[in-house]
Structure 1
Amino acid sequence: MSAWLGIDAGNTGVKALLFDDAGRELACAHRDTGGHSPEPGMVERDIGRLRTDLADLVRELLDKSGLQGRDIAGIGTSGHGNGLYLLDAEGGPLAAIQSLDSRTAGLVEEWTAAGVGEAAAAICLQRPWPSQTPALLAWMARHRPQVLARAAHVLMCKDLVVHALTGQVATDITDMGGAGLLRLPENRYDDGLLEIYGLGGVAAKLPPLHWPTDRVGTVSAEAAARTGLAEGTPVVAGFFDVVASAVGAGVTRPGQASIILGTWSINQVVVDAPLDGVFMATGIAPGRFLSMENSATSATNLEWLAHHLLAQDTRRAGGSAFALADALAAAAPAKADGPMYHPYLYGAAGDPSARAGFFGLAGWHDGGDMVRAVFEGVAFAHLAHVEKLLAAGARLRGITVSGGGARSPVWPQMIADVLRLPVKVAAQA
């Protein structure tokens, strides 16, 4: 039988899945590949480890499924948007900055005061923000000029996966559009936009631009030896992960909306023309765009809670910290005097200095109340973004919820309650 391999490289891990021709999942494997913080506000990862984990993951998946490399008909990828990944001319790693990084907050403030944001938004329909790729490139030019000078390739996260599999350098319109590096709605690079950012010298480092489904290479002999895949297996350009989630959930027609309960709070609607005044827009197909309101305020809060506050209880009881969180949140009744939680571990939209916190705690509240507050705080953060989309003129004709948080038996219902709208949970969320 033939199968199709999908690889998703997110901020916290890499997942690989096999599907049959009917789209049924055959096998899945995952590796935690979270980053590290060398200084406050900085979040980076090790490209060498990412490449090793990728190879090990694919081998594990093939072993688990019982399939051979020759059974894989083609490979598609997705990865977190923005951040910054730099390779030298030989493919050696120079920088790997994730989209949770906020080192450029001061630079973005300078740009805003100088009118750079408005000038850029007139072209790319996105204002600079701290984890945005152009802002990180400008930070590198100012603080690590020798690294940027050595860089031959400016890539997005999923482009690293494509490079590891094929040796080819390529990217797609969804990632580069979402990074504020394309003229929209034309979906092309723009020298004038780079000049606005002060990045005129970067143009030659940007990879060839493709539609997500374009074939950009085949599995190399070296990658075949590392992964167990067959040399020559086709690989397509791939998607910005939030776009992949929307398309995979069937959100492709104008008015259809996608909410992703993932590391980031992703709230997006399909439109014929990008909406003005929202956080981000990117093309997904000729004449179709996603307008988005996003921030790092979603399930990353639950991950922090699970790893730092529930880990000991989980070890005692066994099972999953996330399942424990679901049980505690479900058992805690909604209370008029319940504590509130601000989900700003990595800043808020428009305010990278914002921080998380519990408010209104009283002596009669317990751990379950605090866990429920985290779930509710994230739900209200999604509401704030959806309200901005509606204010910009979006007309929602159905909402599909996906992402790791959508597997919770509690969270999707909270989202529906807070939005006061029906939501559908994507299959295989």
Structure 2
Amino acid sequence: MKKYAIGVDNGGTVSKAAVFDMEGNEIAVVSRQTPLITSRPGYNERDMEELWLNNCICIKEAIKKSKIPPSDIIGLSVCGHGKGLYLWGKDERPAYKGIVSTDNRAWQYPKKWTSDGTLEKIYPKICQKLIPSQQAALLAWFKDNERDVYHNIKWVFSVKDYIRFRLTGEAYCEATDISGSGLMNVKNACFDKDILENLGIEEIYDKLAPIKYSYENCGKITREAAELTGLLEGTPVLGGMFDIDACAIAMAVTEPEQLCTITGTWSINEFISPEPITGTAISMNSLYAIPGYYLLEECSPTSAGNMDWFINNFMENEKIPPGKDLYTYINELVSSVKPEECDVYYLPFLYGSNRHSLAKGSFIGLTTYHTKAHMLRAIYEGVAFSHKYHIEKLLSARKPPESIRMAGGAVNSEVWVKIFADVLGYPIETVTGVKELGALGCAMATAVGAGVYKDYKEAAENMVCVNNPVLPDKINSEIYEKKYKKYTAITDALESLWDSFTI
């Protein structure tokens, strides 16, 4: 009997389920969107029940599309966006809407904790800087602003832990996700009452479910979930992981020498280390999916999601030449402007910033001469510049890599991948044959948990194929180095202005 695994990936707006065999072949993929609810500036939420049902539909349709008998599926695991907050209530219902990782309502709390010395007290344990979309900040916001919701909390979940809970009825916090929440002693891999007391949310301690690892069994598909998903009742459900871990696993990032970048809504830039690296410019240490390693991360919601916004708002009625799709047309527009000819700069801060917490998305330098092609190229370049800002911080604490592995929306564009290579100045490697890397990482967790492979390294050897690298162009890299200096000068000059803005 051939074996198959299902990986489920919940991003900020789209949920996907994919069926894989044990060689890493993507058999079938189904996706559904759960609309964002933006009731106020800075608020980004989703209906938790609708999200759950969309996950069920994705799983059921993926099984149907694959034509694989459910009895051949050895298990399932879930990954999802980090940060954010999905609360389960004492009344056995969602306690609030799901809050995604681009939410900025709690921006004042990290600022306060940094200025009043709280972060300094807890940093040796949490090994990370605090940001508005972490569970720590959001829970403090609920305590101050939504007391009824706060007192009704039974479980504190990340998105993938919530979906897994609905599949199994068993509550767990998986290590890779919860270790980036600001609530956990990362060095000891445990929850810590002292951390919560310093944050002023000590009541939450009993609402934090037991910690499991990505490949550990976290229950089985219930009868209700089986009816909704088409899976067999009793199918094992593994821990799963933070989506950036899942993508890294699916890119075969198994050694500290490697470095990868992920271009989704968030700009994720990371490498792994046998020890946490603290006291540096690096903002985040969390537990990696491979035991014994930490994930060193520099991130912000400043990546490819900016292009989705531009397309949805300014290109819906675009007249595309016959025989071409929208993305081919966009790449042609971008390619029609040379790097040295584009003197428009784009700050990719629509959903948040890696500079000032209140910074906003901006085009700088527009004149009547400039066209949509210049604006599109500026977005491609601005997103790459934002990744470079993070990667420079990572490289301040380690040796340069031989190449950088890249995943996310931008890898679907050869033009954008080439811009990344030229801006970063390193060869860029991508993974071939699979579009849903997060889901593949989940399938690999299932394969390891089921004993098909002894560990992630062996799973990667059998399930991942890395493409030949895209090499940087020396002349273009020199041009981009000058442009990057201007980009950073612009962001520096605007720092004092953002204080006058609100979310």
Fold match (TM-score > 0.5)? yes
After superposition, the Cα gap between the structure-2 partners of 1:48 and 1:366, relative to the gap in structure 1 and judged at 3 Å, is same
User: Quick check: 416-425 or 376-385, which moved more?
Assistant: 416-425
User: Quick check: 229-238 or 356-365, which moved more?
Assistant: 356-365
- Residue in structure 2 matched with residue 194 of structure 1 by the alignment: 196
- Residue in structure 1 matched with residue 406 of structure 2 by the alignment: 401
Instruction: Please report how far the alpha carbon of residue 108 of structure 1 lies from its aligned counterpart in structure 2 after TM superposition.
Output: 2.3
2:385 aligned residue (376, 380, 385): 380
2:299 aligned residue (282, 294, 298): 294
- Alignment-mate amino acid for residue 77 of structure 2: G
- Residue in structure 2 matched with residue 217 of structure 1 by the alignment: 219
User: Quick check: 103-112 or 192-201, which moved more?
Assistant: 103-112
Instruction: Write out per-residue CA displacement over residues 130-186 of structure 1, whole angstroms, 9 at most, x where no aligned residue.
Output: 111100000001101110111100000001110121111112110011222221222
Distance, in Å, in 1 between the alignment partners of 2:338 and 2:164 is 47
- Residue in structure 2 matched with residue 47 of structure 1 by the alignment: 48
Q: CA RMSD in A?
A: 1.7
- Residue in structure 2 matched with residue 117 of structure 1 by the alignment: 119
After superposition, the Cα gap between the structure-2 partners of 1:337 and 1:367, relative to the gap in structure 1 and judged at 3 Å, is closer
Unaligned runs of 5+ in 1: none
- The 8 Å contact of residues 256 and 271 in structure 2, kept in 1 or not, is answered as yes
User: Quick check: 355-364 or 321-330, which moved more?
Assistant: 321-330
- Alignment-mate amino acid for residue 261 of structure 2: I
- Residue in structure 2 matched with residue 14 of structure 1 by the alignment: 15
Unaligned runs of 5+ in 2: 436-503
2:284 aligned residue (270, 276, 280): 280
- The 8 Å contact of residues 275 and 393 in structure 1, kept in 2 or not, is answered as no
Specify the SS of the correspondent of 2:254: coil
Distance, in Å, in 1 between the alignment partners of 2:233 and 2:92 is 19
What TM-score does the superposition give when structure 1 sets the normalisation length?
0.96
Specify the SS of the correspondent of 2:125: helix
After superposition, the Cα gap between the structure-2 partners of 1:222 and 1:315, relative to the gap in structure 1 and judged at 3 Å, is farther
Distance, in Å, in 2 between the alignment partners of 1:350 and 1:173 is 28
Structure 2 residue 174 is matched with structure 1 residue 169: no
- The 8 Å contact of residues 82 and 101 in structure 2, kept in 1 or not, is answered as yes
- The 8 Å contact of residues 342 and 377 in structure 2, kept in 1 or not, is answered as no
- The 8 Å contact of residues 89 and 152 in structure 2, kept in 1 or not, is answered as yes
Instruction: Please report how far the alpha carbon of residue 88 of structure 1 lies from its aligned counterpart in structure 2 after TM superposition.
Output: 1.2
Structure 2 residue 327 is matched with structure 1 residue 326: no
- Residue in structure 2 matched with residue 63 of structure 1 by the alignment: 64
- Residue in structure 2 matched with residue 91 of structure 1 by the alignment: 92
- Residue in structure 2 matched with residue 249 of structure 1 by the alignment: 251
After superposition, the Cα gap between the structure-2 partners of 1:62 and 1:370, relative to the gap in structure 1 and judged at 3 Å, is same
Specify the SS of the correspondent of 1:260: strand
- Residue in structure 2 matched with residue 81 of structure 1 by the alignment: 82
- Alignment-mate amino acid for residue 22 of structure 1: E
- Alignment-mate amino acid for residue 48 of structure 1: E
1:390 aligned residue (387, 395, 398): 395
User: Quick check: 6-15 or 274-283, which moved more?
Assistant: 274-283
Instruction: Please report how far the alpha carbon of residue 112 of structure 1 lies from its aligned counterpart in structure 2 after TM superposition.
Output: 1.7
Instruction: Write out per-residue CA displacement over residues 32-68 of structure 1, whole angstroms, 9 at most, x where no aligned residue.
Output: 2241111111110000110111111112111211123
After superposition, the Cα gap between the structure-2 partners of 1:170 and 1:320, relative to the gap in structure 1 and judged at 3 Å, is farther
Instruction: Please report how far the alpha carbon of residue 192 of structure 1 lies from its aligned counterpart in structure 2 after TM superposition.
Output: 1.1
Instruction: Please report how far the alpha carbon of residue 325 of structure 1 lies from its aligned counterpart in structure 2 after TM superposition.
Output: 2.5
- Residue in structure 2 matched with residue 33 of structure 1 by the alignment: 34
Distance, in Å, in 2 between the alignment partners of 1:90 and 1:319 is 52
Instruction: Write out per-residue CA displacement over residues 393-418 of structure 1, whole angstroms, 9 at most, x where no aligned residue.
Output: 35434310011221111111111111
Distance, in Å, in 1 between the alignment partners of 2:295 and 2:50 is 32
- Alignment-mate amino acid for residue 274 of structure 1: P
Instruction: Please report how far the alpha carbon of residue 319 of structure 1 lies from its aligned counterpart in structure 2 after TM superposition.
Output: 6.5
Instruction: Please report how far the alpha carbon of residue 335 of structure 1 lies from its aligned counterpart in structure 2 after TM superposition.
Output: 2.7
Distance, in Å, in 2 between the alignment partners of 1:164 and 1:334 is 49
User: Quick check: 173-182 or 379-388, which moved more?
Assistant: 173-182
Distance, in Å, in 2 between the alignment partners of 1:119 and 1:34 is 39
User: Quick check: 87-96 or 201-210, which moved more?
Assistant: 87-96
Structure 2 residue 108 is matched with structure 1 residue 106: yes
Number of positions where the alignment pairs a residue of Structure 1 with one of Structure 2: 429
Instruction: Please report how far the alpha carbon of residue 317 of structure 1 lies from its aligned counterpart in structure 2 after TM superposition.
Output: 6.3
- Residue in structure 1 matched with residue 352 of structure 2 by the alignment: 347
Distance, in Å, in 1 between the alignment partners of 2:342 and 2:11 is 37
Identity of aligned residues (%): 34
Structure 2 residue 270 is matched with structure 1 residue 264: no
Instruction: Write out per-residue CA displacement over residues 334-365 of structure 1, whole angstroms, 9 at most, x where no aligned residue.
Output: 23452111101022124221011111123222
- Alignment-mate amino acid for residue 65 of structure 2: K
- Residue in structure 1 matched with residue 419 of structure 2 by the alignment: 414
- Residue in structure 1 matched with residue 442 of structure 2 by the alignment: none
- The 8 Å contact of residues 165 and 218 in structure 1, kept in 2 or not, is answered as yes
What TM-score does the superposition give when structure 2 sets the normalisation length?
0.82
Instruction: Write out per-residue CA displacement over residues 292-326 of structure 1, whole angstroms, 9 at most, x where no aligned residue.
Output: 10000001101101111111116896875444322
- The 8 Å contact of residues 156 and 209 in structure 2, kept in 1 or not, is answered as yes
After superposition, the Cα gap between the structure-2 partners of 1:47 and 1:88, relative to the gap in structure 1 and judged at 3 Å, is same
Distance, in Å, in 2 between the alignment partners of 1:279 and 1:288 is 17
Distance, in Å, in 1 between the alignment partners of 2:6 and 2:229 is 12
Instruction: Write out per-residue CA displacement over residues 177-225 of structure 1, whole angstroms, 9 at most, x where no aligned residue.
Output: 1222221222211111111111111000001101111001010000001
Distance, in Å, in 1 between the alignment partners of 2:99 and 2:425 is 37
Distance, in Å, in 2 between the alignment partners of 1:212 and 1:307 is 35
Distance, in Å, in 2 between the alignment partners of 1:268 and 1:36 is 30
Distance, in Å, in 1 between the alignment partners of 2:81 and 2:359 is 22
